[in-house]
Chain A
Amino acid sequence: MKYSLRETCDKTFTVMTALSVILLVVILVAVLGPMISKGITAVFFKSTVEFRRMQNDLHDRGSIEKIDEQIAKANIHRDYIYSKIDSFKMGIDTSFFKQKVKQIYRQFGNDLKSNNIKGTELSDRRKVARQIRSDLEKAFASLDKAGIIELIDGIDQHKTDHRITGTVAMGFYDLADQYKAIIKDFDLSKRQQYAESLGQVEDLLIKLYGPRPEDPMPALIMDRYGATRYDLACQLLDKILWKEHWVQQSPDQPMVSTKLPRVADFEGTEIEDIFFYIEDNFQQSIIPKATIYWQYFIDDSTSGHYFGGVGPEILGTLILTVLAMAFVFPLGVVAAAYLVECTTDNIVMKIIRLSINTLAGVPSIIFGLFGLAFFVLFLLPFFGGPSKPCILAASMTLAVLALPVMIRASEEAIRSVPQSYKEASLGLGAGRFRTFVQVTLPAAMPGILTGVILSLSRVAGETAPILFTGACAFGSIPKSLFAQTRTLSYGSYDIAVGDKIGMLVPHKQYGMVVTLVLLIICLNALAIFFRAKIFRRLKGH
């Protein structure tokens, strides 16, 4: 082959290998980047006054006076908007008027009775009132503006009738005037359209601002507060101001969505400028402020993870991992000690090593099956406990999973203690056990601790073994070792695929998984730091 060809091959090859490593870095950034950047927003974000209100209600945080002050300020705008909407609604939804009419008529009848008017006088007066009533009802039901005005003007003829002047029936005329004023600029044919659109806007406003004070308290906590985050609020604002409209641009293509301003729906009505008002006073109506919600790591979450934090999950993960390490640490260190100190290269040793390697290669779901079949269904009932998934079973399963990791790390640590220490100790007259305990083990301890930390980080991230042995997605903080617990790992899975409400709060989804990933990365960084410390120690500080 010509030299230049060989050289090109060589250079290309070098470049390709470099690219593969760059690809690794790119992959790392691609995997961690979106998760961390979105997960961070669970703790660092702009909150609205609704958030502060919620925090105060649920956890007694923040001063109630300041919050009330802010709510009062926000309510100025909210009340204005609502009042405009309400008055507009009255034009659309005539049930208010109809009800009022009925009320007045009934009251009129009761008044007559109480004034002891009987007989033909009674029926006569009631006939007049009934006439007015039916006219008004027709007016309210009609869509013909001219006809309505005619009907309303028509009842004027009874205004001066002595049978109704001075009675509650005069209320009919107030209603009529009110209604006439409302429908003056109203396009009645569009009533249906207005109703629909206004209904959507009203729903969105309630989502944005929270339930109206006069409405009954909603059952679900997630409905009791408006938008707690600024980004969510902006999304809602967008939905309020713009309507999504599907358009078929060309016959074969799927429909494309475009945005139409909602103002166009209410063109020519009194409510038209409400949208500009909402947009202009948006900031003042929600009062956003940058917050650091560090209590995310302590708080429990409300149902569906809509509000709150991952406190119980962190606690669950910690309990399971610490308990698993408590089981596996003595077993692992003792086994490693035996393998290093008492080895003879016979068949038994080979079987032990094969077992350790096999254990290291078993898939994690098989550990889950094993945990279910052995710990939950066999061992616990054997000792008289309940045959249900619980923390004890899950941590024992995790301990079996961590055993090979621990044994390997401990063995490496113990083997790396120089033989000279052993010789020196034996030369001074110490027995083998004392030599191990007083010289070898302390010298190997940093390496063993590194192994502990690595096992911890492995165990914290495992989901499959605890699926059927002790993890759950909902539930209170566990009270005993025989209860199930929520964990970061299982919770991340559940909130990503199982939980419908989780989709509405992506920051919570990402927040949970990022908490897990950061926890594990911190543990690994700690292990790396420890390893460096060992290096320094062996060189003499």
Chain B
Amino acid sequence: MPTSVLKKSDKPQVKSVVKITDAPQNKKVVKDDSDCKCAIVKARDFCFYYGSKAGVKNINMDIYPCTVTAIIGPSGCGKSTFLRSINRINDLIPHTRTEGKLLINDHDVYDKRTNLVNLRQKVGMVFQKPNPFPKSIFDNIAYGPKLQGIKSRSKHQQIVEESLKAAALWDEVKDDLKKSALALSGGQQQRLCIARALATKPDVLLMDEPCSALDPIATGKIEDLIGQLQGDYTIVIVTHNMQQAARVSERTAFFCLGELIEYDLTANIFRNPSIKQTEDYVTGRFG
């Protein structure tokens, strides 16, 4: 199988994401059958309106469990809007409405009866700019479990340790968990936010351009992390950086002007896209 034309990181830990047919040790082989009923997030003719302006229109896509799905596209194409609709964090914006369905485990999240608290604990989010609370590292991560009703201090310790290890931050901060989270560097803060999101043991992890505010070294570490998390979590990552999408994801969706243009395996999107617009974008003719 020819290796990917696009650049790969030289670090040995990175699993090459483009080798689809090789089944890595603990990775699941994903069928590229879009009728698979096991898709965890399903969008059916989903539209999102800011007032009268459409953010996204007629989105139909399925996101499969334990995969990394990248969403790429030019600025203002609705990538973040779609992502933020999945856990309904868009509710903070006034004067919005939706049409169509956005299902998680076959339940429409925009249904009136949705338990938002559970939804957001099932679907975690990491934001563009690292936003740790002005509390200690420990309190940042313990925040989520506390909300879930876990009261025992030892359980908190355990969860904090697990989350920090999963986010590859444990070794750097284990000596002083009481330090203020704001004293960490940008990359560390973002990994802290990832750890914080992981602490609630979500099923899906949404990442909205997590590396755009970070320097290249921190970016590399986050990408490694995504690779490590891949087996346990369903990750949807919005990114401006096509190379990053190619590095970390198995499937890629290309959005443009609020519509889903193409959604396919990453290898196909980057090597032989079926739609011209996609080809123009990935070869850099616009955007």
Contacts and interface: CB of A to CB of B under 8 A. Distances in A.
Contacts of A540: 180, 182-184
A538 interface: yes
Contacts of A421: 131, 133-134
In which size bucket is the chain A interface? Answer: 20 to 34
A427 B92 contact: no
Contact of B121 (A419, A429, A538): A429
Interface string B109-120: 000000011111
A423 B89 contact: yes
Nearest to A438: B143
Nearest to A418: B131
Interface in B116-136: 116-121, 124-125, 127, 129, 131-135
A541 interface: yes
B266 interface: no
B126 to A, nearest CB: 9
Given A427-B87, A428-B197, A420 B183 contact: no
A426 interface: yes
Interface string A505-541: 0000000000000000000000000000000011111
B17 interface: no
B134 A443 contact: yes
Nearest to A446: B134
B131 A420 contact: yes
B127 A431 contact: no
A428 B131 contact: no
Contacts of B251: none
A439 B127 CA distance: 17
B183 A428 contact: no
A434 B131 CA distance: 18
A70 B182 CA distance: 65
A163 interface: no
B129 A420 contact: yes
A443 B129 CA distance: 18
B120 A428 contact: yes
Nearest to A428: B144
Contacts of A349: none
A377 B180 CA distance: 53
Contact of A434 (B118, B129, B135, B147): B147
Contacts of B81: none
Nearest to B183: A540
B131 A541 contact: no
B125 A427 contact: yes
Contacts of B121: 428-429
B144 A429 contact: yes
B197 A427 contact: yes
A364 interface: no
A418 B134 CA distance: 11
A438 B197 CA distance: 17
A518 to B, nearest CB: 34
Contact of A428 (B94, B124, B182): B124
A52 to B, nearest CB: 55
Interface in B168-227: 180, 182-184, 193, 196-197, 200
B182 A539 contact: yes
Nearest to A417: B134
A443 B124 CA distance: 23
A428 B121 CA distance: 6
Given A422-B92, A429-B120, A431-B117, A537 B143 contact: no
A296 to B, nearest CB: 43
Interface in B128-176: 129, 131-135, 143-144, 147-148
A20 B124 CA distance: 58
Contact of B92 (A426, A431, A439): A426
Interface in A391-434: 418-431, 434
B129 A537 contact: no
Nearest to B122: A429
Interface string A145-175: 0000000000000000000000000000000
Nearest to A419: B92
A530 to B, nearest CB: 15
A338 to B, nearest CB: 16
Contacts of B89: 423, 426-427
Contacts of B143: 425, 428, 430, 438
Interface string B71-105: 00000000000000001010010100000000000
Contacts of A429: 116-121, 144, 147-148, 200
A426 B117 CA distance: 8
A424 B189 CA distance: 13
Contacts of A438: 143
A340 B120 CA distance: 23
A427 B144 CA distance: 9
A419 B129 CA distance: 11
Contacts of A420: 127, 129, 131
A442 B129 CA distance: 21
23 contacts: A420-B127, A420-B131, A423-B127, A423-B131, A424-B127, A424-B132, A424-B193, A425-B143, A426-B89, A427-B127, A427-B197, A428-B121, A428-B143, A428-B144, A428-B200, A429-B117, A429-B119, A429-B148, A430-B147, A442-B135, A538-B182, A539-B182, A541-B182
Given A423-B125, A428-B124, A443-B133, 8 more contacts: A418-B131, A424-B196, A427-B87, A427-B89, A428-B147, A428-B196, A429-B200, A540-B182
Interface of B: 87, 89, 92, 94, 116-121, 124-125, 127, 129, 131-135, 143-144, 147-148, 180, 182-184, 193, 196-197, 200
> Closest 10 CB pairs between A and B?
A540-B182, A420-B131, A429-B121, A429-B120, A427-B125, A428-B144, A540-B183, A424-B131, A429-B117, A430-B147
